[in-house]
Structure 1
Amino acid sequence: MDCTGPWHSDWQLFRDLFRDASEAESSNGTGTRPFPGFRQDLFGEAYRLYKKWHHFLARGLEDYPTGAAAFYHACHYNEYSDYCLYGHVAALTYLAHHTTHGQRLDIAAQAQRLLHWNLCLDFLESSSWASWGFTMLDIWDIVHNFVYPQVTTLHQFLEWGPTSTPPGNDDSTGPPGFWVFELGSHRALSNEPIAMLSHVLPGYDVAHENFVKPYEGRAEAFIHPFPQSCSPNCDYQQESVPYTFPIFMDMEASKSSFQAWLQGNYFNKPAVRRSSLFLCTNPMFYCNFFAGLNKTILGYFGLPLLYMVPHQDGARWLEEFTALASLPTSLFVSNNPLHAEQVAWQSGVRLPVLRPVTLYITERYQPDRPEDVLVPEPREACVLYCILRAFTPANYPLKFFGKVDTDRSYTSFARFRSVVIYPHDFALMTFYEFYTMGMPLFMPGHLSKYLFPFSASVPLLDWLSDAPSSFEERPPFSPLSLSSSEALRYWQGKIDFFALPAVQLFEGVGHLMNLLLEVDLQDISQQMLTNRRIRLETGTAFWLSVANSALRDGSVAAFLEEVACRIDTLGLQLQAMDDQQFLRGRSPRRSYGSDIARRFFFSLFWAEDFWEGFWM
């Protein structure tokens, strides 16, 4: 990383000049060492390295650069060479910063490409280069986006079906049922509302039916993007791993047929009509499948508003969402503050924030493995573990383990001393789960570690309609396109990794090694549990309102069914009277019964005091 060994002599002059330039500028009273300004000797040396090591760059968009493979092999297999990846990246970035012609963006993109297209080789913030003002953010402020080898649209069509036996008749021997019918593709996100509804409805048997098979995959990938035998470009790697962007193609057709299927299979049962609600999670568009069914819709969201929505349908969906969110039976919340800002940015709708408290997890922090630290495998983990090994001092008392070293149960996780998370998204349920267990959490504090190539919060979803915005004053940066260091800093306070108390932030791996030994773990755990308790107490009112809204729906339905039954009875009685009058020849045959029944029903239906009583 630092390239100070004897085999890196070709890089030493550039390193010294880079350091001296940064330190000279920091002596001017700024207090921090900035990225070096222009110096002719430094620029000349950077250009020399650029020319000499040009063959270590990627030769095509989908090729893996030789320089990236060399760093990877040095980290994993101890295959040392005279190549210096971070020195090469620093030289390219310096040239890009101080080049005025059209090659600026191209050179910066080449520097970013050396760190692998998913940035899994970027630990610049942990190297000495960071102490001289250079991190990934200096590249990001030029490139402003990820350099994906491919963007593949995955065209998805909705298929649904029951996951269990549809509810039958009322069972008078047990507690009454309360049915939650969901369309959602993220199991962890679904767990939170189901657990909270069970919490506020202790007298009901809460049944959960998700008609979509949810995602249950793991985020562990790219363990060996540069195999030792054929790097940098193996035959099967030539097309790389695409960014998969799912698109939901048959939205309107699916919606109409889904509603008919739901009515016929579930809402023909009185018990379901009396106590049930709809739940939509991810993607948010699933909420539209429940529109028009005259029941409470609970929306518990973590991913952006336009996720999975085809571009040509974006404007229509934004209008539909705004209308749907305004209904008294639509109870929508974001599970993190940044998501609420994303929704407001695109729709003008301001959703309340209700962070997860994970009542579905009963395990709590019990560190009977006091020397073991859990480091869950992030997607960008290709050199994380060998970097941790390289930074671990001799006789260091702690050891690092991945989830793969456990049985992946919460009971096993709770036994570790602490957890180190390198996140791959802003809406990360794993973070909230560990937090509410009281597990001491250590996370990167440098903003360069919050550039997520896999996140749904990417410029691909940052689309605005031409309709006038309801913002009185729009924020200066989009919460979806965090494409500059300024944007990251602006929205940092809305990212829960930084906002929630007691999360321990480290600037680099070296700092992490010290911080793990210095902090009071029990105090951290207690602060987290206290925060969870407060959020549980303050959030219960919302979940009660959801349950009451659903039960109120049932009361209205039951009342109208009773009214309809009585109207039918009255109509039959009056029709019989009509028939008798006709048979006696006293009057021409007319259906007085149906006329009277209709008038009675509509006068009741439009009585304001009746409906006000239900919605108060």
Structure 2
Amino acid sequence: MKVANHGYIPHPLLSCSRTPLWNRLRAELTACAIPGPKGKALLAGAAARAFGKALFVARAFLPQVTLLFQQQAAFFVLCERFEDVLAHTTDWATLVPIPHFEHDVRRMISTPHGEAPPCLFGWAAALLCELRVEKAVLSGAWPELDAELAELETLAASHEDTASEEGRQVLSALLARDERALQRLTAKGRWALRGLLRGGHRALTLLESSGWFSLEDVLEALPDGEMGPALDGHALARAQAFLHQATTWTMRLQREVEDFTEGPPAVRVWATSTHPTLLLEPLSIWAGFATLEATLCVRGCAAELAGVTCVEGGLVNEILQRHLGSLEDSLGHFPLLPSLENFRTDFEESDFASKIQADVLVCGEPAFICLLLAELNRTVLGYVGNPLGAYLTADDQMQFYSFVAQVPQRTSSLYAALQLVFMAPPIAAQGYWQTGIRLPVVRPVALYAKSSRPKHMPNSEDVLITKQVYTFWDFQCLLNSALPSASGRTWSFKYMTDLKDRSWGAWASSRAAVVLPYDPQTLVFYELYSLAVPLLVPSKDLLPLFFARSYGQDGSTAVQRRGWALQRSGAAWGRWHEEASFNELRWWAHLSDVAQLPHLLAWSSLAELMGLLNDAMRLVATSAAMIEVTNQNWRRSTLFWQAVLTPSLRNTM
């Protein structure tokens, strides 16, 4: 096990090095590494002492650690200094509104172990040490430890606390080589570790910053079956094959683009979505080759495109609000439409078709609205930014997926068609898993954001942090605490949600942005990329931890149309939700553009993040390279939408 140093500088708050108990343990756990043949006898005593300490710590702090991640409270660094907590100077009103938070934190730090709050990473490192030594002894790799372990068993028997008694039971089982008993005795710790890895609090996203251990160590200690099928070269090749096919539609459609020599054709557009910028993305592209007369029916629209008029809400959204309920599961509250049939009846009675005069109807979120619009025998284009079956029950999802699969046969006239387009590869892959139909991906290039930046806005040295939707870590505080305290420093890390000026122009003026990807696809990621803001993103290995339990991985949309099943291969095309193995989650994370787009600056630890940020020349070069990629995607997106809209444009001439 890589204890105390695996190539990264530990963050001072995350390493728990200020607290004597954890600082001593950190040094002692270095003896948990299995020695070479020549070092066994010399290291047996030190290894036994480390093992004994790890046995006690792993059990003594297990209730506190469990409470920490179950309530999604940070351990003693919700960016409050431990000394401030003890001195009763903490301003609890500024913390997240967790019930009984102050009481629980005070109870957790009032332990019989002195000034030793539950160090999350220290506890996990102790458990990993215990499991590593137990595995070595059971395999016969370390027989010299038996005498030392027997002494530890005698010592543990002289203590009457629960942790010592459980430790004695482990020692007895280990000396007896009772593997089944050991599995039973270590099960709680293993499952707590699994909870830390897979929980919605994202507790282990910063484990590489702690200096205690690595992600590889954690994966090695998970309960049996948690890793799942192999993530091998063949599985990854299937991911790459899908990515290539889904993102190269523009090449195949280029020959279908018509050159309108008489000038830009006019097109009337009516669009609806619960997400305003999801509609602005295609419309801002269309405005480059057509004269738009567009009506956007959304909530909170702030369009600044020529020919585009906003209507607050609109008829479809009003009907949606009347029917919408919510689904509560272990991930949170999600919108749910109890009955698609009841919604359809209300929609038809509204006489929508006679009220809308448009050449093209555009739908965004939720995607099932596209089904109802397509039934009106109009040209319908859907730009999908969430799971295809979002908002629908399982039965209604199957109905919708069957419709999508039959779209080529359902068109009843030359110009009546439904074209669904996905914003990002992961939801397109889900759509294929759900329907059996490969639909195109057209990545956002956010022209609407570029056009809104004032020409002479001064650049800022501040570094943005994207929205944080989970409460366990305060990234802004952790990153700012690692900056030099020199009085001459004029910049800091800032949450985008806390900015006074939240305009796209203000984003573009920033030096860089730290991306906290709470979902495999978010528009803000593409917007920042298109604005050429250098993006510091978690490494591919860490992405499954950030994506865990996100809306994009909600199990309620893991429904397939009747008669369709996708052949799996290892971790490829497996589950993406709570029941998925870790390798399956890694496979789906591999499809995200947070892992795929070029010129992203990937970090595994906060120290590595700071190193990337300090390379000013690299940031400048990265920004320039991002501009070139965005321009390429812009050209491809334009060709795609021109080809898709050509029949409608021709019909308006």
**TM-score normalized with structure 1 length:** 0.68
Shift of 1:455: 2.6
1:450-465 matches, within 5 Å, as: 450-465=546-561
Specify the alignment match of 2:190 in structure 1. 108
Q: Secondary structure at the match of 1:315?
A: helix
Local SS of the residue matching 2:20: helix
In the TM superposition, 1:240-389 aligns within 5 A as 243-263=332-352, 265-267=354-356, 272=357, 275-324=358-407, 329-361=417-449, 362-363=451-452, 368-380=458-470, 382-389=473-480
Q: Per-residue displacement from partner, 1:347-376 (whole Å, max 9, x unpaired)? A: 111011110011112256988445321223
Structure with more relative contact order (C-alpha pairs < 8 Å, separation 6 or more): 2
Match 1:4 to one of 3, 6, 17: 17
Distance 1:120 1:280, change over 3 A: farther
- Please report how far the alpha carbon of residue 503 of structure 1 lies from its aligned counterpart in structure 2 after TM superposition: 1.1
Q: Aligned to 1:297, what secondary structure does the other structure show?
A: strand
1:303 is aligned with what amino acid? N
In structure 2, the residue corresponding to 1:413 is in which secondary structure? helix
Equivalent residue number for residue 510 of structure 1 = 607
Which of 528, 546, 567 is equivalent to 1:434? 528
1:79 equivalent to 2:173? Answer no
Unaligned 5+ runs, structure 1: 29-38, 146-174, 215-238, 556-616
Query: How many pairs does the alignment contain?
Result: 480
Spell out, residue by residue over 1:526-569, the C-alpha distance to the aligned partner (whole angstroms, 9 max, x if none).
211111111111221221233333346668xxxxxxxxxxxxxx
Q: Could you say if the C-alpha distance between residues 17 and 399 of structure 1 is closer, same or farther in structure 2, counting changes exceeding 3 Å?
A: same
Deviation at 1:23, TM superposition (A): 8.0
Match of 1:56 among 64, 85, 98: 64
Instruction: Give the Å deviation of 1:118.
Output: 1.8
Aligned-partner SS, 2:288: helix
How many Å apart are 1:126 and its aligned residue? 1.2
- Hey, what's the Cα distance between the residues in 2 that align with 1:326 and 1:474? 34
Structure 1's 138 and 131: CA in aligned 2 closer, same or farther, altered over 3 A?
Answer: same
Distance across 2 between alignment mates of 1:392 and 1:533: 35
Quote the Cα distance in structure 2 between the aligned partners of 1:457 and 1:48. Answer: 37
Which letter maps to 2:614? L
CA separation in 1, counterparts of 2:31 and 2:294? 66
Task: Verify the 8 A CA contact 1:356 1:432 in the aligned structure 2.
Answer: yes
State whether residues 444 and 506 of structure 1, in contact with CA within 8 Å, keep that contact through their aligned partners in structure 2. yes
Q: Distance in 1 between matches of 2:592 and 2:457?
A: 28
Asked if residue 499 in structure 1 is aligned to residue 589 in structure 2, the reply is no
Answer whether contact 2:336 2:392 (CA < 8 A) is retained. Answer: yes
Q: Aligned pair 1:90/2:132, yes or no?
A: no
- Decide whether aligned partners of structure 1 residues 378 and 132 sit closer, same or farther in structure 2, where only a CA change above 3 A counts: closer
- Matched residues in 2 for 1:469 and 1:536: separation? 35
Supply the AA of the counterpart residue of 2:78: Y
Give the 3-state SS of the residue equivalent to 2:542 in structure 1: helix
SS at match of 1:535: helix
Aligned pair in 2 of structure 1 residues 186, 120: CA closer, same or farther (>3 Å)? farther
Q: State whether structure 2 residue 256 is matched by structure 1 residue 180.
A: no
Structure 2: 5+ residue runs without aligned partners?
1-13, 40-46, 87-114, 136-178, 229-263, 299-313, 319-327, 412-416
1:424, CA displacement in angstroms? 0.9
Question: Residues 460-499 of structure 1 correspond to what in structure 2 (within 5 A)?
Answer: 460-465=556-561, 467-469=563-565, 476-478=572-574, 480-481=576-577, 483-499=580-596
Amino acid at match of 1:453: R
Q: Give identity over the alignment, percent.
A: 23
User: RMSD in angstroms over aligned alpha carbons?
Assistant: 3.9
Given the alignment, which residue of 416, 420, 441 partners 2:514?
A: 420
Q: Does residue 197 in structure 1 map to residue 286 in structure 2? A: yes
Q: Rg: which structure is higher? A: 1
Q: How does 1:521-540 map to 2 (within 5 A)?
A: 521-540=619-638
Is the 1:184–1:190 contact (alpha carbons within 8 Å) kept by the matching residues of 2? yes
Report what 2:618 is aligned to: 520
The one-character-per-residue Cα deviations of 1:187-218 (angstroms, maximum 9, x if unpaired) are 2212212222222213x43333344559xxxx
Write the distance in 2 (CA, Å) between the matches of 1:132 and 1:138.
10
Residues 453 and 549 (structure 1), Cα distance of their counterparts in 2 relative to 1, 3 Å cut? same
Task: Give the C-alpha shift of residue 178 in structure 1.
Answer: 3.5
The 5 Å alignment of 1:97-246 reads: 101-102=183-184, 106-111=188-193, 117-119=200-202, 122-130=205-213, 133-134=216-217, 178-202=267-291, 204-210=292-298, 211=314, 212-213=316-317, 243-246=332-335
Are residues 1:390 and 2:398 paired?
A: no
TM-fit CA distance, 1:387: 1.3
Task: For residue 637 of structure 2, give the secondary structure of its aligned residue in structure 1.
Answer: helix
1:19 aligns to 2:27 (yes or no): no
Shift of 1:341: 1.2
Q: 1:494 to 1:60 in 2, by over 3 A?
A: closer
